[in-house]
Each structure stands twice: as C-alpha cells, then as structure tokens.
Structure 1
C-alpha cells in the first residue's frame, strides 16, 4: 500500500528531487529527417525511387533509440546499453544525427528505418514533441516545430521527388497531454499520498474529442498534399498507428509498490493502481479512439497497445543489464525507464517512457509485415523470448 505522507516526505532525498525535476520536464516526443517547402502540383506521381515516410511525434521519430535496454550502471557504456558511448565520451549524434541538436531525435533505428524493404528510401519527418498542428500545412493552420516547417509541407517536397508508397503517422498523444499524465502520476508517487488515475482520466476525456479531430485533419492534410503532387488514391497507402504502454500492469511489476526500488532502481515510479489504469484502460482507450479515426478516414490502422507486453519497464519478464549481464533483445526491457532517478542522469529526460532500440527494431518488423497486407486493420505483438524476428500481426 502507498506509504504515509510523512514517510514519503522523509524519503525525498537528492535522487528523488532529481527525478521530480525530471518528471516536470518530461515531454512526449517524435522526430524527422527532411525539411522543405511545398512542391508545385504534378500531373502524375514521380516514377521513383520509391519511398516510405514517417510523420508525427516521438513514438515514431525514434526517441530513445540510443538505448539497448536499461541499467543502473552509470559509467562508460552503461553496461552496454548506451549506444552513444564512443569509448571516451558520449555522442548522441551517433544515434540521432543532426536532429539531436534540435531535439527532434530521429534515431538510426526509428520504425521507418527499421523497415528497409518497404521502399528504396526511408524518410523520417517526425519530430519529438509534435502535436497535430505540426502536421497540417502552413497554409491551413500548420505550425513549425524546432526550426522545421510543418510536416505536411515537408511531405509535399518529398512527394515531388520520390514515388511515395507508404506514409505512417503517429500523432495525437501530445494533444491528449500524455506527458502531463506521466508527470502527474510520478509526482503523486514521489511526493503525495494520492493516485493520479481519477483526475487524469477526466483530463484525457476532456481533450479526446479535440485531439481526435486534429488527427482526422492531419490525415486530410496528408491526402491533400499527395493529391496536389499528382498522386491518385491508389498510388500510396496511409497507416495510422496507436501507442504502446511503456509500463506493465501492477501484477506484472517486478519491484514492490512499497519502498523506493521502483524509483531509484527500476525507473518506474507509479502506484499499482495507476500502472494498471495506464496499461489496461488509458492506452486501450487511446487506441480505440485512433482506430475510430482511421475507420472514418478510410486508412489502415496499426494497433500498438500490446506491442510491448512483457517487455515494459519494470516488467517481471525482463531484467536490467549489469556489469556482468549484457543487454539482450530477448531479456532486456524494450522501453526507456524514467531517467533522472539514478544518482546521475544518463541521457535526456525526453527519452523516458519511449520504445528503445530493441522495440524500434520490432516496430520496423511489424511495419514490414503490415506493408504485405493490402487492407485491413492489424495489431502488432511480440513473441516472448524472441527478438524482433518474433514480431507478428493479428487481425483487428
């Protein structure tokens, strides 16, 4: 059961203050690679080369691709989990390229790049922190983000140069305030004797209609761009995807609710009730809402709500890497823990609670499998004890 307020106050040491500060800064993210302006309309789609394009937020940009699992080891390559380690220093641009400087954080293993057989060219236009307005064309209310033009305008330039075959969109989480939900739940665990799920459910419900309207408009904007570039409806496909849960339900947490191992070791500072609500209520609710938009707009839907099942942060089925146990795609966590709760922060807070390197390979595998499905809605799932090659789809 949750500890008393006086006990929590006594335990608010330097590491918990850092984690609290980290939570306050926690955004939801997303990322991309090409910026540009709208291309003039064409009489027909370009002949080639073919391209697969990712649009949206941090869950498709590749945020957290730096990390191969999690570890409390803070030095060197962090028990083999930190891909930014050069042997003498940390260089996140090894993973995120030039987008690390802007904060878009498009990783080298982002979903679109981990599905190389879908098209000859993989183009990531997503950016960490994007909301639906960052997808719209500037001429139709679109907003720039982190020094880049709205993503639909970037897509126009891509569509004029490449023969775009697949556009995958992940958006809406930031419109719903998913980052605010995580921040509030972490604060309620660390500081207050309370739960977050009641008031946060109300907050999400209040934002849902507006967020889904924004997702629908983003899909309309994508279609308008493609039509303006000369594409017929059958020349390309659009996939709208949902979000996976980065934390497990209470029954699958490997750290006890009492004490402080969830925060200072596990990086999953959530009460049991809040964890189960997030995993079994919030994430499925968002997925159902996005599926409804996909159906209304006539695009394919990829359900990711169970994609990390058994691979979440603090899941009993996984373990952290140690100085004697290397990270592994079959045993490590597939999501980034909440950074900042350790004695020192290992990376950036915005990477927290996002699919990591292993998960991004898995997402790429599911996208590859989906491209082989000409129609229908599908759910992406993993196979326990296997790497990305064990990913499979089930019909919705």
Structure 2
C-alpha cells in the first residue's frame, strides 16, 4: 500500500535525501586537477636537437660561445649543425641542446652531466613551455656501451701496430654492446616523452625523430691518404666499420625508436661516396672530417686532450646535407626513411630503410 498524504511527502523527501547521499558517496573523488595548458598556440614554432656529437655539430666548426672548451665545456655545438640546416620556412627558431660525448642518461632526466652541462631533457622543458615545439630530433646511443668514438681510436691504434684490428678485438662483442645500449636509449626517449607530456603536449602535437649514425670512413680510401695525413685505418677495419659496425648500431637505434613510437631516420648510408679520405684531389666533396689536429691546442694543457676531438665527424657540408634530408622527412608521412643520395647527389629521404 502506497503512503498517502503527508506520509507520501515525507517518504519522497527521505528518498531524495538518500539518493543525494548516494551521489555524494559515489562521486566523492577529489575535483579534477587543473588541466595542463597544452602547447602554446601563438608562440614561435621550433625544432629541438638533442643527443651527442653526431647532432651537436662536432666537426662543423664555428661553435657556440661557451661550448669550445670554456670552463671545461666541450659540447661543440656548431652554428652549422644539421638542426639549423633544414631550410623549413614554417619553423621560426631552432634549439641545439646536444653535447659532444653525451651518453643517453644525460640526454634524459637525471643527474648525469656531460662537460659541465646537466640533463638535456630538463632544458627541453623550458623550451616546450615557452615555444610550440614542432619536433624533437635525437641522435644518441653511440656513447653508451658501444663507445663508438673509442672504437675508432682503437682502429687507429691497430693501424700503428699497437693493437689487434678493431674488427677482431671489438667485432665479436659488438652486437652485445649495442643490445646493452638499447634500453638506455629507450629510457632517454621516454624521458623526453614525459617532459613533453608534462608541458601539456599530446604525442600528436609534435614529432619525436630518432636518427642513426653515418659511417665516417669506408674501404674506398684514395691513394696516399690511408695514413696520418688523412685516415690511418687498416683496410679490414675500414670494411668492418662501414659494413658491420654501423649497420648493427643502426639496428639498435631503430629498435629503441620503435619501442617509444618515434619516427626513425636512417643515416647509415648517407655518406657513401663522401666519406673522409674518399677524394685525393678535391676534399670539398667529402662530408666528414679526416684525422683533424688542432695544433695550437696542443700547446695548452687544458685543451691538448681535445685537439683531435673533431676527427671523423660530419663537416659543415655533411651537416647541411643531413639537415636538408631531415627537413624533407619532417613533411613526409613515412614512419621511417633513409637519407640516400638522389640524382643530383644531394640527400633525400627514401621510404625504404632496408640494406
């Protein structure tokens, strides 16, 4: 029997009160946090480079003030670095956070320093907050377990007769070194994702591009240059670097990029025909530095140990070529591409990244 009269009104009031209490209990969570601001809409559109010497501009000269040994900073960020050479009219500014010799942990978040500089990812946060980041381009990993620059040093040592060929001494463990590198690079890339997310960016708001490494030397050394005048490497080591070491390193970097959903730009064959010491008569056709010695630096104790630092890195022309390929890649739909020479000899992104 339904309640009538005043009892019905009391019953209805109790039901309403109980229902409201249920709503309060079921919806008793804390208020939603203040939404993140998102990427600035009207701010300058920018590109950011992060990583090590292959992207900082080592070897290209004209280094930014404060990065050429001042107070122990040898990051060698060049005004000719590839990030500044994309030729994109839609980009207002480019930032170079890369530092020569940087390991993956210094690219990511944490306390690791490189040549006095703190985390690159922490510096990215400030850029992302004040600018609209269109893309973050990362070149890193070789300074982790692979220690690629030290391997090249070992190759030179082998040429002098003071060690085994680096293909024999390092080759058997090279794949294992690269395998150990991959999770470190993944963590650095995840840190970059975290920084961008904390700044309010969705992954679709920007591009994360990971680039691999080019072979700076190859087996086709010009006559008379396979010595201290240019490229002091054994012939078997030259073949190992180009045909084994760089491809395996490239596969590791590609794997790291895939794990975080980043785009991948393969540079492993970008320098073929333009390696250091590939042209006896016209060095301007080479896109990589030969054995380079800053003789004046040898006279100063604080600079002497860095006198050969530019050796076997892309020169200004090499960075210009890589930058042009990168700029084109930014506006393609491909998840991955390889920088290969086109009919005119310049680098362009090709959708195939296979060998």
Give TM-score scaled by structure 2 length.
0.81
Q: CA deviation at 1:204?
A: 2.5
TM superposition shift of 1:298 = 1.0
Counterpart-to-counterpart distance in 2, 1:341 and 1:164: 37
Shift of 1:340: 3.8
Q: Is the CA contact 1:189–1:270 (under 8 Å) kept in the aligned structure 2?
A: yes
**Structure 2: distance between partners of 1:341 and 1:143:** 29
Unaligned runs of 5+ in 2: 1-34, 299-303
Of 258, 267, 270, 1:304 maps to 267
Partner of 2:337: 378
Please give the alpha-carbon distance, in whole angstroms, between the structure 1 residues aligned to 2:335 and 2:105: 27
Mark the CA change 1:128 to 1:343 in structure 2 (over 3 Å): closer, same or farther.
closer
Residue in structure 1 matched with residue 175 of structure 2 by the alignment: 205
Is residue 141 of structure 2 the alignment partner of residue 172 of structure 1? Answer: yes
Tell me, yes or no, if the aligned pair for 1:320 and 1:333 is still in contact at 8 Å: no
Q: Who is 1:391 aligned against?
A: 347
More displaced stretch, 112-121 vs 128-137: 112-121
* Equivalent of 2:76 in 105, 108, 116: 105
Aligned residues: 307
Could you tell me how far 1:319 is from its partner in structure 2? 3.5
Instruction: Tell me which residue corresponds to 1:88.
Output: none
Q: For 2:273 and 2:295, how far apart are their aligned partners in 1? A: 23
Q: Which has the higher contact order (CA 8 A, sep 6+)?
A: 1
Q: Equivalents in 2 of 1:210, 1:193: separation in Å?
A: 25
**1:97 Cα deviation (Å)?**
2.9
Deviation at 1:284, TM superposition (A): 0.7
Could you say which residue in structure 2 is the equivalent of 1:45? Answer: 39
Matching residue within 40, 52, 59 for 1:57: 52
Q: CA deviation at 1:205?
A: 2.7
RMSD over equivalenced CA pairs, Å: 2.4
Contact 2:175–2:248 (8 Å) recurs in 1: no
The SS at the match of 2:227 is helix
TM-score under structure 1 length normalisation? 0.73
- Kindly state the Cα deviation for residue 109 of structure 1 after the two structures are TM-superposed: 0.9
Asked which structure has the greater CA Rg, the reply is: 2
Question: CA–CA distance in 2 between the matches of 1:192 and 1:301?
Answer: 38
* 8 A contact 1:56–1:126 mirrored in 2: yes
